[in-house]
Chains A and B, each alone.
Chain A
């Protein structure tokens, strides 16, 4: 009995060629990709040129570039794009400054460093919806701890159209700075120590060391963090949706959701999604090009 088992297994293994095993792994994945990625992508591309509405039984009519032209000339859509751009700028730059700053602080000896690092990572482990609801309470003008701690009285964070976007961005910075911190820490720990020793021997100042050694060497990994965070910030939905319903916080993802699933303008929203996709790909390509340049240095 003990001898027959390995023999049976050996014979079964011999029954499948390398090619069959390869196909066994590849074909389900390809089928999955075609069904759930490629087909929806192509179908939505087609619907973006039609007046299709999923909520009706009416057939889709070909409208050419009408949807794209409507979206690119609509004042509200442009407002959504402007708001999103502002949000991405505030949020990502805030995360880079705070995250990288924290990484610099942690990249030196300190007691309980492991515990502190773990605690700092906690925000990004929470669900977006939970964070949104939690911060909504923190921002509350009647009993919120933020106004109480800062002595701001009944300052309205979310009800004030000029402040609401900042409030959402601050929450996002709180949540995702640890991500930038984590990547930056990895980058900082990879900087060779002898470079700092050489700089010290040459009596280089702190700023000179930072801008000539630390930043250039950490830049590639920081760029990766920025690419990830930009893409994520660009498609932010839940946080802004839960925290505020101000028109000044209506990001493109929220507008897209409303257009697709509340108004059921399927054709128009497909076109909108493609415009967003092209923008995200374009921005990412610029970043990647810059990343390659940084690496070449």
Chain B
């Protein structure tokens, strides 16, 4: 081998080592493309200032977030060191070996003690009640409601409402009131509609919309420990909840058949609906005069209580996990140690992120920071979630296939719909050996 050639190889080897060393200083977090991801990038820039280790938040549109993440997992790719994944991925990602277990990290840093209990339960623990943890609650989120304050506080409307329904017009405290108010404001002739709800059945929008009713009506999706669904998912409370969700669909603007967070915010910004269901993470845009001409007249409330007084909401948000195939796991855990610090969580909340840190959430400063933070605080201690088992996507597909035709297509009854869905889910759990 000539000296020149040897020199060339040596140079290449040195450069490779240098690049590897440089990569260890660069961490990549993968998340969906939305405002909280931008807030996180701002936060991690401060980590770089402190430690010299740069962190990049790489994003992709929500529509292909899951596909892209799992494609990378399946390829055992090391493109991402950490991922801010959906709560329902926990089963698939942990059983598939894609997430690094964090149980020891939880114990060492008392993560379970400092984060809101519901967020630890749904964003981090899998299987349920197992004491095994896979994520740090990062972006707490849940479904809440925005409404048109000027419509609700209009004296003429208040008088007309009281005359018709016998009680004062105010943000609804119960689902029965929500239905009354949706009906009251539904005036197609005036281009004004009662309510905007989730109906998109492409992924989990419609199901989470329905969950808000089911959970608050005191019903459940099933028994998360035994995987039994028969008699639970199709209980009388769940049937009533589904019927009422369908009633709400009747008070939506025309063409409200494939709607998620974008459309539901538009319902308020375009002055279409009196009330709109959406994740808290999308509420900052409603307070911005540049994006919402009705910003000054937009108010917020938590998901109302059901007939028995139970009050819950569908969980959104994500936890941050370390990817098993990352070459920088040690550095990632060092970053997470920084991320869970109280001052960092406080800063995270200041930047616009929805912290799951219990002390920060409970602080007066946080609760008074925006018009919706109080509702968010109340909600985060009452959230419930969808199944987090590896086969969650099949359960979701079955739910979309059964719920959508009933709610939007007016096919069958609520009882038939939930009976059929319970049978589908029972068959899926049996297929995967969770039940006999």
Q: A154-B188, A159-B256, A246-B257 are in contact. Are A56 and B390 (CB under 8 A)?
A: yes
What sequence of 0s and 1s flags, for each residue 237-275 of chain A, a beta carbon within 8 Å of any chain B beta carbon? 000010011111000000000110111110000000000
Interface presence of B97 (CB below 8 A): yes
Size of the B side of the interface (Cβ < 8 Å), in residues, is 34
Interface presence of B408 (CB below 8 A): yes
A54 CB contacts on chain B under 8 angstroms:
70, 74
A158 CB contacts on chain B under 8 angstroms:
255, 257-258
Task: Tell me the B33-80 residues at the A interface (CB within 8 Å).
Answer: 66-67, 70-71, 73-74
Q: Are B408's CB and A55's CB within 8 A?
A: no
- Kindly provide the distance from the CB of B260 to the nearest chain A CB, expressed in whole angstroms: 10
Interface presence of B330 (CB below 8 A): no
What sequence of 0s and 1s flags, for each residue 136-163 of chain A, a beta carbon within 8 Å of any chain B beta carbon? 0001111000000000001010111100
Residue of A nearest to B260 (CB): A245
Task: Tell me the B60-113 residues at the A interface (CB within 8 Å).
Answer: 66-67, 70-71, 73-74, 92, 95-97
Residue of A nearest to B206 (CB): A245
Residue of A nearest to B272 (CB): A142
Interface presence of B212 (CB below 8 A): no
Q: Are A56's CB and B95's CB within 8 A?
A: yes
- Kindly provide the distance from the CB of B180 to the nearest chain A CB, expressed in whole angstroms: 24
**Contact partner, A159, options B67, B73, B255, Cβ 8 Å:** B255
Q: Are A247's CB and B405's CB within 8 A?
A: yes
Q: Are A57's CB and B96's CB within 8 A?
A: yes
Interface presence of A76 (CB below 8 A): yes
A258 CA to B202 CA, complexed, in Å? 9
Task: Tell me the B169-228 residues at the A interface (CB within 8 Å).
Answer: 188, 191, 200-203
Chain A, interface SS category? loop
Q: A57-B97, A159-B408, A263-B394 are in contact. Are A245 and B257 (CB under 8 A)?
A: yes
Interface presence of B393 (CB below 8 A): yes
A140 CB contacts on chain B under 8 angstroms:
255
Q: A55-B70, A161-B408, A245-B200 are in contact. Are A262 and B393 (CB under 8 A)?
A: yes
B202 CB contacts on chain A under 8 angstroms:
241, 245
Interface presence of B354 (CB below 8 A): no
- Kindly provide the distance from the CB of B323 to the nearest chain A CB, expressed in whole angstroms: 14
Interface presence of B147 (CB below 8 A): no
B394 CB contacts on chain A under 8 angstroms:
263, 265
What sequence of 0s and 1s flags, for each residue 43-82 of chain A, a beta carbon within 8 Å of any chain B beta carbon? 0000000000111110000000000000000001000000
Interface presence of B253 (CB below 8 A): yes
Could you list 18 examples of A-B contacts with CB < 8 Å? A54-B74, A55-B70, A55-B96, A56-B92, A56-B96, A56-B97, A76-B401, A140-B255, A156-B254, A245-B404, A246-B257, A246-B404, A247-B404, A259-B397, A261-B70, A262-B393, A263-B391, A263-B393
A142-B272, A159-B255 given; name 15 further pairs at CB < 8 Å: A54-B70, A55-B70, A56-B96, A139-B255, A141-B255, A156-B255, A161-B409, A241-B202, A244-B258, A245-B200, A245-B258, A246-B258, A262-B203, A263-B393, A264-B92
